[in-house]
Amino acid sequence: MSNENYRYDTQRIHAGYDSDNHFHAVNTPIYQTAAFDLGDIDRARRLWSGAEAGGIYTRVGNPTVTVLEDRIKDLDGGSAAIGLASGMAAITYTIFLLAENGGNIIAASSLYGAAQEAFANFYPKFGIKTKFVKNRNDVSEYESLIDADTRAIYLESISNPNAEIYDFEAIAQIAHKHHVPLVVDNTIATSFLFKPFEHGADIIVYSATKGLSGHGNTIAGLVVESGKFDYTRERFPHFHEKSYKIRDVDGNERTPIEAAPDAPVTTALRSFYLEFIGASLSAFDAYLVLAGLSTISERLTKQVATTKKLVEYLESKPEVTWVRYPSARNSPYAELADKYFPDGAGAVFSFGFGGTREQFKQFISELKIFSYHVNIGDVRSLIVNSPETTHAELSPSDQKLADIPQELVRISVGLEDVRDLIQDLESAFRAVFIK
Ligand SMILES: *Cc1c(COP(=O)(O)O)cnc(C)c1O
């Protein structure tokens, strides 16, 4: 089932699955197998050319993963999606593919810690340099960094940990003026809160480890493409290179664009990156993401409501020096949040702890519900000192660029009763500050 006319809440449960094709199982089965019968010689030929869809070998595709890919594609309104072993695999594969043979990237300087570090120091080892945008809402800075070899502008739809929001439509316009695609990491928002393709994005990457699956029990990633971007020969010569790897059923070499005019990115990712590097999503992990996805709307709705209440509570505490979330007082992102996130700007935010390091240590140890670990989008609420954990890879100057001051504390809001969460914070504040 892939009826684009159904609404989000119906698609998140049904899209991409027809029980007639799965022995009438109502729940998506876990196809725990490495390989699939090819049938006969002619069928094998059709499978290899993509003329017939079907399983060959789980490194490059698996029916459980296919259901997830089709569902995510429909939820985002894209043309195709590919499941990968982690969010970092999704990001790295996408960047490597776009930047093959000498490309560079323009990225906001406020990324998820591992992504920021990879763009800054790891991708350059493979010849891929990133130019970071410092004033992330200054559209002219993005444009001034574009050159003949720029292959993508890269942003997070809601930044981690400060919940920054950018003017996507203005940035997309600049990108498209120069035939550069806009890649958006939509992990924190998820397609429930934000649909990047409706605001000019061309490729979406996800860590499905977070809100999409929502239960902190799997590592998974996804790449979705809109099918609308024109990868020109000038900027993307490798999308116009013929390869026997993506031949047609008669054995003629094809380019990624010839093989899949509306899905060249996911086709190239599957044919080359999954084939040769192989960070495949397992059937079991795809199953867990599908199970979590079926309650995404209820989870995110409650998490956003709880987040707003926690922000309000923390703003009332004298021990809290600032709170960063679009609904917080004086947030510079309130207006952009109204425009792009009418249903809420996610459930991750940061605040400044107005005490000493010793007091902060005690504060963390007093908390009984909030757990101290590095994840987000879990059913459990969690709290972490980003400068020394999630963003510890960044040098002090990169932390400054990403706006991660030493007193920053990040919260990811789960599904507990908000009254208990507030009480937990209140008891910890009292234990530390009222002697
Ligand atoms: C966690 C995260 C990633 C990385 O995803 P993994 O599944 O852990 O590899 C990428 N981007 C954002 C915004 C994240 O929160």
Looking at residue 300, which CATH number applies to its domain? 3.90.1150.10
Q: Residue 61 falls within a domain, yes or no?
A: yes
**Closest C-alpha to 100, from 306, 311, 276, 244:** 276
Residues 252, 375, single domain; the answer is no
CA of 29 to the centre of ligand 1 (A): 26
pLDDT at 95 over 90: yes
Residues 333, 398, single domain; the answer is yes
Structural tokens at position 87 = 């969010």
d(CA 351, CA 322): 5
Best mutation site among 84, 88, 218 for ligand 1 pocket (most ligand atoms within 8 Å of CB): 88
Residues 132, 166, single domain; the answer is yes
Average pLDDT, the chain: 95
CA of 115 to the centre of ligand 1 (A): 8
Query: What's the pLDDT band for 386 if we cut at 50, 70, 90?
Result: confident
Query: Which of 230, 260, 292 is at the close of a domain?
Result: 292
**Ligand 1 in contact with 219 (CB < 6 A)?**
yes
Residues 214, 303, single domain; the answer is no
d(CA 30, CA 39): 21
> 153-166 as b/e, with b when 16 or more CB fall inside 10 Å?
bbbbbbbbbbbbbb
Residues 51, 161, single domain; the answer is yes
Residue type, 396: P
| Number of residues written out for the chain | 435
**Reduced to 3 states, what is the DSSP secondary structure of residue 407?**
coil
pLDDT at 435 over 80: no
Sign (positive/negative) of CA torsion 89, 94, 100, 106?
A: negative
Q: Whose CA is nearest to atom 6 of ligand 1?
A: 87
pLDDT at 146 over 80: yes
Residues 311, 286, single domain; the answer is no
Place of tokens 């960047």: 95
Q: Whose CA is nearest to atom 1 of ligand 1?
A: 207
**Ligand 1 in contact with 187 (CB < 6 A)?**
yes
CA of 87 to the centre of ligand 1 (A): 5
Contact 127, 173 (CB under 8 A): no
- Cβ neighbors of 325 (< 8 A, separation 6 or more) are 163, 307, 308, 311, 331, 345, 349, 350
Q: Residue 1 falls within a domain, yes or no?
A: no
**Ligand 1 in contact with 183 (CB < 6 A)?**
no
379: enclosing H helix or E strand: none
**Reduced to 3 states, what is the DSSP secondary structure of residue 423?**
helix
With helix as H, strand as E and coil as C, how does 36-81 read? CCCCCHHHHHHHHHCCCCCCCECCCCCHHHHHHHHHHHHHHCCCEE
- The tens digit of pLDDT for each residue in 425-434 reads 999 999 999 8
Residues 287, 345, single domain; the answer is no
CA of 375 to the centre of ligand 1 (A): 9
Looking at residue 248, which CATH number applies to its domain? 3.40.640.10
pLDDT at 1 over 70: no
Which atom from ligand 1 is nearest to the alpha carbon of 90? Answer: 9
**Ligand 1 in contact with 209 (CB < 6 A)?**
yes
CA of 393 to the centre of ligand 1 (A): 14
What's the total number of domains in the chain? 2
pLDDT at 102: 94
Contact 352, 407 (CB under 8 A): yes
Q: What is the DSSP letter of 266?
A: H
Query: Which of 270, 292, 314 is at the close of a domain?
Result: 292
CA of 187 to the centre of ligand 1 (A): 7
Residues 37, 153, single domain; the answer is yes
Place of tokens 């609404």: 7
- Please give the backbone phi and psi of residue 344, each rounded to the nearest 5 degrees, phi first: 115, 150
**Ligand 1 in contact with 88 (CB < 6 A)?**
yes
CA of 73 to the centre of ligand 1 (A): 19
Q: Whose CA is nearest to atom 5 of ligand 1?
A: 87
- Please give the backbone phi and psi of residue 408, each rounded to the nearest 5 degrees, phi first: -70, 135
Q: Residue 2 falls within a domain, yes or no?
A: no
**Ligand 1 in contact with 87 (CB < 6 A)?**
yes
Q: Residue 377 falls within a domain, yes or no?
A: yes
Contact 133, 174 (CB under 8 A): no
**Closest C-alpha to 353, from 425, 420, 305, 423:** 425
**Ligand 1 in contact with 156 (CB < 6 A)?**
yes
For residues 389 and 305, which has the higher predicted lDDT (pLDDT)? Answer: 305
**Ligand 1 in contact with 293 (CB < 6 A)?**
no
Look up the domain containing 352 and give its range: 296-433
Residues 139, 93, single domain; the answer is yes
Which atom from ligand 1 is nearest to the alpha carbon of 89? Answer: 9
Query: Which of 254, 275, 292 is at the close of a domain?
Result: 292
Range in 76-90, 149-163, 380-394, 417-431 with the lowest mean pLDDT = 380-394
**What pTM was estimated for this model as a whole?**
0.96
CA of 197 to the centre of ligand 1 (A): 20
Q: Residue 3 falls within a domain, yes or no?
A: no
Q: Whose CA is nearest to atom 7 of ligand 1?
A: 87
Q: Residue 144 falls within a domain, yes or no?
A: yes
d(CA 143, CA 95): 19
- The tens digit of pLDDT for each residue in 198-218 reads 999 999 999 999 999 999 999
Q: Residue 365 falls within a domain, yes or no?
A: yes
pLDDT at 40 over 80: yes
Contact 151, 99 (CB under 8 A): yes
- The mean pLDDT value for 406-413 works out to 94
Q: Residue 210 falls within a domain, yes or no?
A: yes
pLDDT at 2 over 70: no
Residues 284, 174, single domain; the answer is yes
Long-range Cβ contacts of 30-36 (<8 Å, 24+ apart): 30/64, 30/283, 30/284, 30/287, 31/55, 31/58, 31/62, 31/63, 31/64, 31/283, 32/283, 32/284, 33/58, 33/62, 33/283, 34/58
Residues 288, 301, single domain; the answer is no
Residues 327, 398, single domain; the answer is yes
